[in-house]
Structure 1
């Protein structure tokens, strides 16, 4: 790779890393091409991307970003997974690492917060944005349902009493 191509790779990776919500660094020792392609596919479906670059070039791309301290993790065969969604890349990487022992998570960064492997795992365990929205909507709807049931109940009780009284009178006659 010549100097111009290296500079272009560093610039594009730097721009991408500046706009991501989360970056996960992992070792991919021994992963064959089909496994790597499967990992890329899963991350793309989750809304993220994967980049394999020389550690020195990746460290240069990380300079002046929130995840700059991740350059300490760039030793050996590393892979960078990232997404704008602060949970997607972590969740997809952790899920894939559970099925493939050749992908070992080293750490990551969410904004300016540097995470170790356990931190990435904890981030992946969080519910997605859509799940959180559904829970909030459920919590907001519950009181409205209870209010409607409470308002309706006295009328329903009165109707049942009148019906019982009418049934009793019919039976007596």
Structure 2
């Protein structure tokens, strides 16, 4: 049984509202995946803050109209699912990459970030981007390093003096 016009409008509106706030989008062909596989993918996506939706291509084109993902419209061909990253730019690509390692049937077709369309090869680069927490911890480690080195250097001067005095005392 097909969807009614009202159901289609609601679906397009829902995807359009998610796309308006998303950081990146990944379109992947899911041909050959079972319903159980799709359920596991959706669970993993939900845990990672990724919105995954399977739409007819005409509905997907309407949903991304007026968003920064409109550049993907030309590539909507065949059975595709769309994953939108809602928390950080790399989360959708990370979820799709990790799931496609288990199931080779899931194949990335295109990636969009910041209104730019990229090929499937760029999904790996996007997936390797650090999460927000990882980026903050790297920044903090970078900011802490000079201070730590200064403290270590300043501490070394009295330490060396104490060791020298101890060596002189032992010599006498």
TM-score, L = length of structure 2: 0.93
Aligned length: 169
Gaps of 5+ in 1: none
Partner of 2:93: 90
Answer yes or no: is 1:70 the counterpart of 2:72: yes
The alignment yields a C-alpha RMSD, in angstroms, of: 1.2
Answer yes or no: is 1:148 the counterpart of 2:160: no
Picking from 57, 61, 64, the partner of 2:63 is 61
Q: Which has the larger radius of gyration?
A: 1
Picking from 12, 16, 19, the partner of 1:17 is 19
Where in structure 1 do 4 or more consecutive aligned residues deviate above 3 Å? none
Task: Please give the alpha-carbon distance, in whole angstroms, between the structure 1 residues aligned to 2:17 and 2:24.
Answer: 14
Task: Please give the alpha-carbon distance, in whole angstroms, between the structure 2 residues aligned to 1:130 and 1:90.
Answer: 17
Gaps of 5+ in 2: none
| Correspondence list, 1:79-158, <5 A | 79-84=81-86, 85-158=88-161
TM-score, L = length of structure 1: 0.92
Tell whether the 8 Å contact from 2:71 to 2:115 is kept in structure 1 after alignment: no
